[in-house]
Structure 1
Amino acid sequence: MLDLGTTFLAAVERDPQALAIVDGEVRLDYAAWHRAISSVVAGLDASGIRAGDHVVGVLRNRWEAATLHWACQFAGVILVPLNWRATAEDVAFCVHDAEARAIVYEDAPAKAIAAAGLDEAVLHVTLDVDRPGAQRFSDWLEFDAAPVQPRAGADDWSLMLYTSGTTSKPKGVPRRHRAERAAAIAHIAQNRYGNGARTLGVMPLYHTMGVRSLLACALLNGTFVCLPKFDAAQALRLIAAERIDNLYLVPTLYHDVVHHPDFAATDVSSVRTLGFAGASMTDGLLKTLQAAFSPDLFVNHYGSSEIYTFTIEDDAPAKPGSAGRSGLNQMVRVVPLDAADAQTRAAPNEEGQIVALLAGDEAFEGYWRRPDADAKALRGGWYFTGDTGYVDEDGDLFVTGRVDDMIISGGENVSPVEIESHLSLHPEVDEVAVVGLPDERWGRVVTAFVRRRGAVTEAELDAWCRDSRLANFKRPRRFVFVDEIPKSPVGKLLRRKLTAGDYTPAP
């Protein structure tokens, strides 16, 4: 298996004049981008940062962030990309946990970084703001450097992603060059991207979906079109202007794009492949996207930071809710919820926990200095995902939620995803999230939080659920109309905020 530096160098040699990256007025071919990457490696060298060191990046999807990513791959430096919206507490934790030598950041997170109380041993490198004692990334780009050659091997560490840490401190997920490259190759094959693919680079580069899009472009001499901060109108402008041919987004972003007032007047005919991951997509949104784009391929990719691909469903509208079957580099099964190992499988249509083989080419090898997390998730060569689901009679996987999201109401296990998908089909429902709220009689009562598209009442939604194939015990007993459904920066539903009462009721 090649390392990632050699992977990029191969792209330069294949087609040095192919357009590699676009960010506003910046348009670089592979040869020019390699020169910029070489300069940044020289900047790392001059700063005393060596192979095996950790460098934290707190950047939006701009060309400098992508350049830093590739520079670290050439130099053998381990990149630690963080959410640019991270709090001072999270920045401080991750920088110290990773023992980072440097932090590279722009203006948006500068206040949080200043408040993080980082000691003088951490070098600050800034893009847009000046800080006493800090270096400027623009100065690194000015280095007159010889074309850099790869210094890392396939078994060296590439980067360390941090999990979101919704219930505890974030966990570091170190990944090797070979696992990153294998995941990118699988991403290309499973989405059937062609040479020269043009990708909208909107999924953040601190997220596994964004990293995969970036790496896949280099393998295909494709173009990575940066969208630093998601904006549906700007996304539509870039799709039309740059003739984007594939979209790989979380469902929330698709929802915002297809419902934007500019969508009808935008030429999106260049888009032939739709892919989504990060969360389940409702039946209603699947139908809307299929009608709006008429894509050649519509892929549901189910995976994680730890193991990029679990399963693939390459005709998502044909079987709504299906996550498909194991990906090219993986083997996945469902075990009973109380299973201690992966040897006993759940029966067809029996809900259990989803587990994935750790021997897969895309898999991580354990969390960064978290033996407690390893003991919980890594058992007998399998990764226990914490996701719930079932395999139907055809052998297709359906993901129903998280073990922690399971609603136990009146002694029955209720998964929220099926209810959300049904409610999403109501023409006056824009978005919906289902959680279990405390109830003296039922333990937890199934509650639907609804953002309305039009006028609809609780009684009408209850009737909609009664006249469906939902089992009676799964029907929501309460409906709450809200202004917004809370989500993470990458569009993941934050049910914990709803259960904690952190929402704004609709008038």
Structure 2
Amino acid sequence: MSLIGGTFVCLPRFSVAEALRLVAAERVTNLYLVPTLYHDLVHHADFGATDVSSVRKLGFAGASMTDGLLARLTEAFRPDLFVNHYGSSEVYTFTIDQDAPRKPGSAGRAGLNTMVRVVPFGARDPAATAEPGEEGEIAVIAGGDEAFEGYWRRPEADAKAFRDGWYFTGDTGYADADGDLFVTGRIDDMIITGGENVSPVEIESCLSLHPAVSEVAVVGLPDERWGKVVAAFIKRRGPVESADLDAYCRAAGLPSHKLPRSTVFVAEIPKSPVGKLLRRRLVSGDYEPEAASAFPSHTSVEALT
């Protein structure tokens, strides 16, 4: 911001109300947040009464953004530029999509001084590039100026991450026919149910578009028969039941093996201090169920329309 003669407005500790106040008071033109903080911003009670017309550019990184939140932000801000950055601490920026609403879910293409490819799961050779639409592990060239040299005194981590000059991120994704990258999650988060690989991000994006869903997180829970079953943890903003959400996912074309077999309504989705989703807490049962009186159990999706 100093280089271009701009002003950087920083909160010592993030507060949605204070962020909205500063946007209006400082006439902030650019916002750069993780998706969770954007969600909190547009769903805050003060948002509708806050003048955010100065904001013309949005950027996000740190996690995938659901289709529902992407649409909500586009409607709320009508930005001139909406950028998605995908990267890591190890190599900084991998890919950039400068028009995120154009193709929801896309992380775009390789940024300056880097190369990115999707390698089939289990492949040791980084040259074994996956076919368009084939999900695999995302690998990034490790020879650029922005790439790190390795993990401090962790040779076992280096051996796992580096293969013939490429850094294997541990992220899963695929490239479409246009060459745009789609990040589907972490290898550790992949749900293997009945021998099928299921990405939580795809299911979360589908459920996020339902008008009664405020937030959603999908994890795999242990199951004796299937190995793991798909479980959706939902924070509701309106009355909706599991059967309604199941019907909604089916109508959206979600395959049967990706449909949640368990739906849990929670008071909050657990997150880290910087707003990243903590799936492990959901798997371990460390969450607060929704209050029994939050929404009448007999209501359905029809009540919302």
TM-score bracket relative to the smaller structure:
over 0.9
CA contact (8 A) 1:309 1:329 kept: no
SS where residue 260 of structure 1 aligns?
Answer: coil
Asked whether 1:308 is paired with 2:96, we answer no
Give the aligned partner of residue 325 of structure 1: 109
SS where residue 309 of structure 1 aligns?
Answer: strand
CA contact (8 A) 1:358 1:381 kept: yes
The amino acid across from 2:29 in the alignment is D
| Distance verdict in 2 for CA 1:366–1:218, change over 3 Å | farther
Asked whether 1:291 is paired with 2:66, we answer no
SS where residue 346 of structure 1 aligns?
Answer: coil
Structure 1 residue 345, shift from structure 2 partner: 0.5
Structure 1 residue 242, shift from structure 2 partner: 1.0
Give the aligned partner of residue 56 of structure 2: 272
Give the aligned partner of residue 455 of structure 1: 239
Structure 1 residue 259, shift from structure 2 partner: 1.1
Structure 1 residue 286, shift from structure 2 partner: 0.6
Give the aligned partner of residue 500 of structure 1: 284
Structure 1 residue 425, shift from structure 2 partner: 0.3
Matching residue within 165, 169, 172 for 1:385: 169
Asked whether 1:431 is paired with 2:210, we answer no
The amino acid across from 1:368 in the alignment is W
CA contact (8 A) 1:449 1:480 kept: yes
Give the aligned partner of residue 182 of structure 1: none
Matching residue within 196, 206, 229 for 2:13: 229
Structure 1 CA distance for aligned equivalents of residues 230 and 141 of structure 2: 33
Structure 1 residue 262, shift from structure 2 partner: 1.3
Structure 1 residue 361, shift from structure 2 partner: 2.6
CA contact (8 A) 1:331 1:356 kept: yes
The amino acid across from 1:277 in the alignment is A
Asked whether 1:347 is paired with 2:131, we answer yes
Give the aligned partner of residue 194 of structure 2: 410
SS where residue 366 of structure 1 aligns?
Answer: coil
CA contact (8 A) 1:306 1:364 kept: yes
Q: After superposition, what is the alpha-carbon deviation per residue over 1:215-242, rounded to whole angstroms, capped at 9, x for unaligned?
A: xx23223222120111111001111111
Pairing 1:22-171 to 2, within 5 Å after superposition: none
Structure 1 residue 456, shift from structure 2 partner: 0.7
The amino acid across from 1:329 in the alignment is N
Q: After superposition, what is the alpha-carbon deviation per residue over 1:323-344, rounded to whole angstroms, capped at 9, x for unaligned?
A: 1111122110000110112110
Asked whether 1:397 is paired with 2:181, we answer yes
Give the aligned partner of residue 5 of structure 1: none
Structure 2 CA distance for aligned equivalents of residues 252 and 313 of structure 1: 19
The amino acid across from 2:91 in the alignment is I
Structure 2: stretches of 5+ with no match in the other structure: 292-305
SS where residue 2 of structure 2 aligns?
Answer: helix
Give the TM-score of the pair, scaled to structure 1: 0.57
Which stretches of structure 1, 4 residues or longer, exceed 6 Å deviation after superposition?
A: none
The amino acid across from 1:349 in the alignment is G
Structure 1 CA distance for aligned equivalents of residues 49 and 217 of structure 2: 31
The amino acid across from 1:451 in the alignment is K
Structure 2 CA distance for aligned equivalents of residues 300 and 501 of structure 1: 32
Structure 1 CA distance for aligned equivalents of residues 62 and 257 of structure 2: 28
Give the aligned partner of residue 360 of structure 1: 144
SS where residue 273 of structure 2 aligns?
Answer: coil
SS where residue 254 of structure 1 aligns?
Answer: helix
Structure 1 residue 472, shift from structure 2 partner: 1.4
Q: After superposition, what is the alpha-carbon deviation per residue over 1:27-69, rounded to whole angstroms, capped at 9, x for unaligned?
A: xxxxxxxxxxxxxxxxxxxxxxxxxxxxxxxxxxxxxxxxxxx
Structure 1 CA distance for aligned equivalents of residues 104 and 202 of structure 2: 10
Q: After superposition, what is the alpha-carbon deviation per residue over 1:51-109, rounded to whole angstroms, capped at 9, x for unaligned?
A: xxxxxxxxxxxxxxxxxxxxxxxxxxxxxxxxxxxxxxxxxxxxxxxxxxxxxxxxxxx
Structure 1 residue 349, shift from structure 2 partner: 0.6
Structure 1 residue 365, shift from structure 2 partner: 1.3
The amino acid across from 2:179 in the alignment is G
Give the TM-score of the pair, scaled to structure 2: 0.93
Give the aligned partner of residue 273 of structure 2: 489
SS where residue 435 of structure 1 aligns?
Answer: strand
Q: Looking at CA atoms only, which structure, 1 or 2, has the larger radius of gyration? A: 1
SS where residue 215 of structure 2 aligns?
Answer: strand
Matching residue within 237, 255, 258 for 2:39: 255
Point out the structure with the larger helix share: 1
The amino acid across from 2:63 in the alignment is A
- Percent identity over the alignment is 74
Structure 1: stretches of 5+ with no match in the other structure: 1-216
The amino acid across from 2:79 in the alignment is P
The amino acid across from 1:327 in the alignment is G
Give the aligned partner of residue 4 of structure 1: none
CA contact (8 A) 1:359 1:381 kept: yes
The amino acid across from 2:172 in the alignment is T
Give the aligned partner of residue 241 of structure 1: 25
SS where residue 372 of structure 1 aligns?
Answer: helix
Structure 1 residue 471, shift from structure 2 partner: 1.3
SS where residue 88 of structure 2 aligns?
Answer: coil
SS where residue 219 of structure 1 aligns?
Answer: coil
Structure 1 CA distance for aligned equivalents of residues 111 and 253 of structure 2: 30
Structure 2 CA distance for aligned equivalents of residues 308 and 488 of structure 1: 21
Structure 1 residue 299, shift from structure 2 partner: 0.6
CA contact (8 A) 1:313 1:323 kept: yes
